[in-house]
Chain A
Amino acid sequence: MSTASEAAEPVVRPVSRSRVFWHSPLGRNVKRVPFYLLVIIVFVYALFPFAWALRCAFTPEGDLFSSPLQYIPSNPTLDNFKSAFQAEFFRKALLNSALVAGGVTLLSLAIGSLAAFALGRFRFRGRSLVMYLMLSMTMFPSIAILGALYTMISGFGIGFIEFPKIYDTLWALLFTYLIFTLPFTIWVLTSFMEALPGDLEEAAYVDGATPFQVFYKVLLPLLLPGLVTTGLLAFIAAWNEYLFALSFIQDPDKYTVPIAITSFVGESGSAFQQPWGTIMAATIIITVPLVALVLVFQRFILAGLTAGAVKG
């Protein structure tokens, strides 16, 4: 590291006592104290709301806001989890969200990987135009077309094509969620496609493979990490979506998770008396699988989130 100082004549300098201290093992650790303090603050800041949600989920509804506040429940209970699962709309919402998010993810991957094959492996006129179109779509504010979608899903016709009424069905969500999942999928998959080496593919072409064989026998298996990454991100985005679900769904049987979590009402039935214990239990039920997913696929998610972001 310091070749320069080795070459120079050793210089004897008076060394101050504080300098000796800061370079001793003890001093070096003392110097790290503010650093670790900062690390701890970040940890606490990131995790405290979860800890508090856990505390609320295990506290009986009556003790939640008792004064003085109990930071650790004195008589923990599972009642909140029971009442969360007893709510039929919440159980159904878990299924609905899984169906919609899973469906839209698979659809985006199927259509998007074909587009990524074209954009990542071929050079043709209009390629960058399509890339810019997809990029602008990923930034597209969905609120800007809410009204048009609202009337579209209520049934409409373009010329002779009659579009069925899908308002208040899961199809409405499957259809509209493509707006944000598909362009994003295409964009990220294209960057993964471009990163694949070209030799294998050329060898296959020389052996007389058709482009489609090359696509699903050579490229698709190599693209698997990219598909996992993009699929996860698309799934999470669709699972978390609120605006469209709120606007297009009325029937409690078709609620998605974000709608369900805001729909619990207390025993009095008043919207102002929110049953926080039950809500927090539901929160934990939703959060735990997501956290598990994130921890297991951490690397994939990071790769996808930062795909392109650092290339400038």
Chain B
Amino acid sequence: MSTVAPPVPAPPRRRKSTKLKRRQTRLAWFLLVPSLAVVAFVALYPLGKTIFQSFTDEEFLALNPVSWIGLENYKDLWNDTIFRDSIWTTLKFTVITVSFEFVLGLVIALIVNSSFKGRGVMRAVMLVPWAIPTVVAAQMWKSMLQSNGVISDAGVRLGILAQPHAWIADPSTALAAVCAVDIWKTTPFVALLLLAGLQVIPNDLYEASEVDGANPLQQFWKITLPLLWPAIFVTLIFRTLDALRVFDVFYVFFGNRLGTQSMAIYAQSTIVSDGYVGYGAAISMAIFLVIALFVVIYLSFQRVVTR
């Protein structure tokens, strides 16, 4: 859901007497108190607590007192092959889904941006997969991906598959199966974001370039893509961050099945099923670092591109 952009410029500074200004500042902070209190209480305090917990051996509902164990959790994590696998799985998932969603989303956005009959209907249709819960989408696809489900059946009938296939149970197709759900659910949403970006590109540019004899391909590379870049960037960064913390689809499809855990699945099962709050906190911090790393990569990439 979070599709917000870097902050918009502040409203223009108005000339005010300093006394009024001071009063306004006080009022503004006063209005912000409830929000800041909530954010501090539900996000910042827990974040600090998680950092602290990651250096302890805290267990949920354990009788022995919590003790400080320093970097022990992180050392264990470094040698934890399950966690390493989960990072790898999540990275593969992220790369596959984000690239498919971006390319397909761009194609769909370009289609919807040209005027044709049924454009309004199409835009409404695109919102539907976005609106339904991921868990519901996952359940729909899970039934379709059974070995005796419709995808196997249609594949055999069309001669694409030799025999029915258990997409989710077979480890070699499991990742493709989760990716299919995510791509289906999220591509329309990516398309809508890119479409919004397309619609602010002034039409004159295309007309002028047509006069200059540019072909559609040149128009796409020289006009559409550069002007769409801000929307593309925001879309990609938000999709990537979302994909890195994927939980719902993996849980519905595999539960805690080994070899098909995302990072979030491993953290959740460590904390909730096993009750190892301290070790789970260390995993959470590692996830946090991976996500932060991606933000840094994206931001430096953005700086290179816009230069």
Chain A residues in the interface with B (C-beta under 8 A)? 1-2, 4, 32, 35-36, 38-39, 42-43, 45-47, 49-50, 52-53, 56, 65, 67-69, 71, 111-112, 114-115, 117-128, 130-135, 137-152, 154, 158, 175-176, 178-180, 182-184, 186-188, 191, 194, 198, 211, 233, 236-237, 239-240, 242-243, 246-247, 257-258, 261-262, 276, 279-280, 283, 286-287, 290-291, 293-295, 298, 301-302, 305-312
Contacts and interface: CB of A to CB of B under 8 A. Distances in A.
Interface in B258-298: 263-264, 267-268, 271-272, 277, 280-281, 284-285, 287-288, 291, 295
Interface in B118-167: 118, 122-129, 131-137, 139-141, 143-144, 146, 148-150, 153
A176 B94 CA distance: 26
Contact of A114 (B35, B108, B129, B264): B35
28 contacts: A4-B211, A35-B116, A39-B116, A49-B137, A49-B140, A122-B27, A126-B29, A135-B4, A141-B244, A143-B247, A143-B263, A143-B287, A145-B49, A146-B268, A146-B284, A147-B53, A147-B277, A149-B42, A150-B272, A240-B134, A243-B247, A246-B268, A276-B143, A286-B133, A287-B136, A305-B193, A310-B231, A312-B233
Contacts of B200: 310
A306 B196 contact: yes
Interface in B2-57: 2-8, 10-11, 13-14, 21, 24-25, 27-29, 31-32, 34-36, 38-39, 42-43, 45-47, 49-50, 53
Nearest to A191: B8
Contact of A111 (B38, B111, B122, B146): B38
Contacts of A211: 27
Nearest to A97: B133
5 closest A-B pairs by beta carbon, nearest first, are A312-B230, A306-B196, A148-B46, A308-B5, A240-B133
Given A118-B27, A184-B4, 20 more contacts: A1-B207, A46-B126, A52-B150, A115-B35, A133-B39, A141-B287, A141-B288, A146-B267, A147-B284, A148-B47, A176-B42, A198-B11, A262-B135, A280-B143, A293-B131, A301-B131, A302-B196, A305-B193, A311-B8, A312-B234
B101 interface: no
B123 A298 contact: yes
Overall SS of chain B's interface: helix
Interface in B201-217: 207, 211
Question: Which of B25, B38, B193, B200 has the most chain A CB within a 10 Å cutoff?
Answer: B38
Contact of B248 (A67, A124, A152, A243): A243
B1 interface: yes
B250 to A, nearest CB: 11
Contacts of B111: 35, 38-39, 42
Contacts of A145: 43, 46-47, 49-50, 284
Contacts of A148: 45-47, 49-50, 53, 281
A176 B42 CA distance: 6
